[in-house]
Structure 1
Amino acid sequence: MLTPDNTLLLVVDIQERLLPVLHQNTEFTAASRRMIEGANILDVAIAITEQYPKGLGATLPEIITLIPDAPIFAKIRFSAWIDDIHAIVRTRQPENIILIGCETHICVLQTALDMRDAGLNVYVPQECVTSRAIENKINGLEQMRAAGAIISNIESLLFMLMQDAKHPHFKEISQLIQ
């Protein structure tokens, strides 16, 4: 069961120089922002990775402004399952990871596979991942699903995190997803 206390949202490589070449990048960015806003409202822990920031730039400013205090970890490995993320998982001990970011069939896929191998439950809101080609996104999602990741959507995940319409942030989350 997803709860804010047992879940970590991992923002994978949503970077300045990568975004322009990605499929439906405007819709993807808006969806990722909604997921992050919902996670903030529900007080879900958030961490960020950046793939080779010297070459691909920093995380998008419109993402950073939502989570200015989230730790950011540079990586050259495609998978975001790096030592710094291991340390967060060891410290916080989440059972569930919500993955959003770029590219679905490379970094997000390899992260999901590594995290599943580590025994974590992985959730991927399908509108919060993208690739340069839609076919690669679809293929990446299919591979994650086959490996046991739950392919979901923003609304489902936020409502899973709340569990009940009596949740104190129900109205705020409901307005966010409209």
Structure 2
Amino acid sequence: MNLDQFKIKRDEAFLFTIDMQERLVPAMDQSTFCRSRAERMLQAAEIFGLPGCLTEQYPQGLGASVDEIAAAAEACGHPIFSKISFNACIDEVMAHLRASRRHSIIVTGIETHVCVFQTVRALLEMDYNVFVPEDAVSSRTAENRLNALNQFRDMGACVTNTETLLFDLLGVAGTTEFKAISKLVK
């Protein structure tokens, strides 16, 4: 069994944050927990210097990204792309991703069974390694979220959690980054 698809390397990682918007987040199952974990991944992206981006689904109707997510994305220099497609792999996003030369994509956001699902599937079709921290994605119902997570596994994505990703990206203790990440998870 080839385990490479389950190894995330910092120099290959890209963080994709999908549709964490004002009118969507409150409607999600365990919305506060999911939002805090997506924010934690953005804070870690700043610590590690990971490139990435945010998307907003039809922001005229669904609002902008929630304040905490927008602020964390701005802090690490992740641009925001508006879209109307459920699949977030629109031309502008893909140009940004290709320019980063990264091949291991961490996907967080909502809804797990709609926009996250179509994005994960598209990334896998393009031969990216995809990592989905299950605590940083959500849907309106737990059943829809779990169904999508099972499909991600079946399609070949690595379904994991934020803490596993953070320590995998970290690799070793005793560094300044270790201290910063340790503060995030306490």
Normalising by the residue count of structure 1, what TM-score does the alignment of the two structures yield? 0.96
- Of 23, 26, 42, 1:36 maps to 42
DSSP-derived class of the 1:164 partner: coil
SS in 1 for 2:72: coil
Do the aligned partners of 1:3 and 1:162 also contact (CA within 8 Å) in 2?
no
For the 8 Å contact 2:54–2:73, the answer to whether it is kept is no
Matched ranges for 1:107-146 at <5 A:
107-146=115-154
- Equivalent residues of 1:34, 1:176 under 8 A apart: yes
Q: Please state how far the C-alpha of 1:2 moved relative to its aligned partner.
A: 2.2
Return the alpha-carbon distance in structure 1 between the equivalents of residues 97 and 30 of structure 2: 31
Flag the structure with higher helix content. 2
Runs (4 or more) in structure 1 with deviation over 3 Å come to none
Output one character per residue of 1:38-79: Cα deviation in whole Å (capped at 9) or x when no partner. Answer: 121111112010111111111111111112132111111101
Partner Cα separation in structure 1 for residue 8 and residue 149 of structure 2: 20
Per the alignment, residue 180 of structure 2 pairs with: 172
- SS of alignment partner, residue 47 of structure 1: strand
TM-score, L = length of structure 2: 0.92
Match of 2:57 in 1: 51
Alpha-carbon distance between aligned partners in 2 of 1:18 and 1:60, rounded to the nearest angstrom: 9
The one-letter amino acid paired with 1:131 is S
SS at match of 1:119: coil
Residues 1:86 and 2:94 are matched in the alignment: yes
- Compare 110-119 and 67-76 and name the one that shifted more: 67-76
Deviations 1:3-36 (A, max 9, x none): 3321110000000011121111111111111111
CA contact (8 A) 1:12 1:50 kept: yes
**Secondary structure of the residue that 1:11 maps to in structure 2?**
strand
1:159 aligned to which of 149, 164, 167? 167
Quote the Cα distance in structure 1 between the aligned partners of 2:130 and 2:108. 11
Structure 2 CA distance for aligned equivalents of residues 108 and 167 of structure 1 = 33
Q: Identify unmatched segments of 5+ residues in structure 1.
A: none
How many angstroms does 1:165 deviate by? 1.9
Could you tell me which runs of 5 or more consecutive residues in structure 2 were left unpaired when the two chains were aligned. Answer: 1-6
Q: Is the contact made by 1:51 and 1:75 (CA closer than 8 Å) also made in structure 2? A: yes
Q: CA RMSD in A?
A: 1.2
Aligned counterpart, 1:6: 12
Q: Which residue of 2 aligns with 1:102?
A: 110
- What is the SS of the residue equivalent to 1:2? coil
